[in-house]
Amino acid sequence: MSKRLYFEAGNRLTNNRETNGTDSYTVDYAHNSSYGTNSGNRWLGIGGGTPDQLPIRTEKDKQCLVYTSALLDADMEVTGHPIVRFSASSTADYGDFFVYLEDVDANGEAVLVTEAQLRAGFADLHDNDKIISSGKYGIDVLPELPWHGFEKGHYRDRIFADGAIVKLVIDCHPTSWVFRKGHRVRVSIACSDYPTYRLHPKLCPANDPADPDNVVPTITVHRDPAHPSHVEIPLIPGSHVD
């Protein structure tokens, strides 16, 4: 069971698509999703470290394009891979995208639930059953998630050239989380997560957020019948958003 929440005017997430339009975001390369005194993040534990504080994103969201739901009128239990599907264009030919699903409490504090990353040049989707031995054994890879590929031949150079509107489908890392009644759901979109990830070499060759020679794009997210940008949230039966 899943629930769609649509990107809407006024930086809202809504149950139904209500209006047509676009939202613009000027990239902030200084955005950094790390948290705590030891600069914790999802990847720190891989090296044996442990973040020492909760992943609070309240201030970091000011560097991002955000969409936030109305107050939940009941608890909502999410288990699985949230998938963010949105259409974007850019003033630059290249781009990286970082997406964060967040829980916003009654005081407005936002905490990270899960996240995802995609270099836009790998936006095209491929058959994920072919990731094991090129599919020759007929293995059905589950769960069914968007597979972007990783080979040189899967990459589309200058994907945003000539004003192209590109559909980005990004699956977040799996999670199991209860959004409590009176809280809100938020999707936050950034185009950098420095220094955890290197800045895009075509836009920031020096890998320095403050370099005056950086190409700083303006991203446009499209919202209309042809581009129904939204997040798809996997729900436990009985959970809902009204």
pLDDT single digits (tens) 178-223:
999 999 999 999 999 999 999 999 999 999 999 999 999 999 999 9
Quick one: DSSP state of residue 42?
T
Q: Yes or no: say if 159 and 166 are a contact pair by the CB < 8 Å rule.
A: yes
pLDDT tens track for 29-88: 999 998 887 777 777 665 566 777 889 999 999 999 999 999 999 999 999 999 999 999
Mapped onto helix, strand or coil, the DSSP state of residue 203 is coil
Query: For 56-109, where are the E strands, in sequence order?
Result: 65-69, 76-80, 83-90, 96-104
110, 102 Cβ separation under 8 angstroms: yes
Residue 205: asked if its preceding bond is cis (omega within 30°), the reply is no
Q: What is the pLDDT of residue 47?
A: 59
Residue 162: exposure state from Cβ atoms within 10 A (0-12, 13-18, ≥19): exposed
Question: DSSP per residue over 123-166, as a string?
Answer: -S-B-GGGTTGGGTT----SS---B---SGGG--TTTTGGG--E
200's tokens = 């895009």
Span 2-234 CATH architecture: Sandwich (2.60)
Query: 3-state class of 70 per DSSP?
Result: coil
- Whether the Cβ atoms of residue 182 and residue 106 lie closer than 8 Å to each other: yes
Rg (CA), the chain: 18
Please tell me the predicted confidence (pLDDT) of residue 166.
98
Q: How many residues does the chain have?
A: 242
Q: Which two tokens stand for residue 47?
A: 């090296």
User: What is d(CA 101, CA 103) in angstroms, rounded to the nearest whole number?
Assistant: 7
**Phi first, then psi: what are they for 199, rounded to 5°?**
-65, 155
| Domain limits, the chain | 2-234
Distance CA 168, CA 165 (A): 10
61 phi and psi angles, rounded to 5 deg: -65, -20
CA angle 171, 176, 181 (to 5 degrees): 110
Distance CA 167, CA 87 (A): 4
N-to-C CA span, the chain:
15
At residue 63, the pLDDT reads 97
pLDDT for res 36: 80
* Beta strands 65-69 and 12-14, pairing class: parallel
Looking at residue 240, its pLDDT comes to 54
Q: Is the pLDDT of residue 234 over 60?
A: yes
pTM above 0.85, yes or no: yes
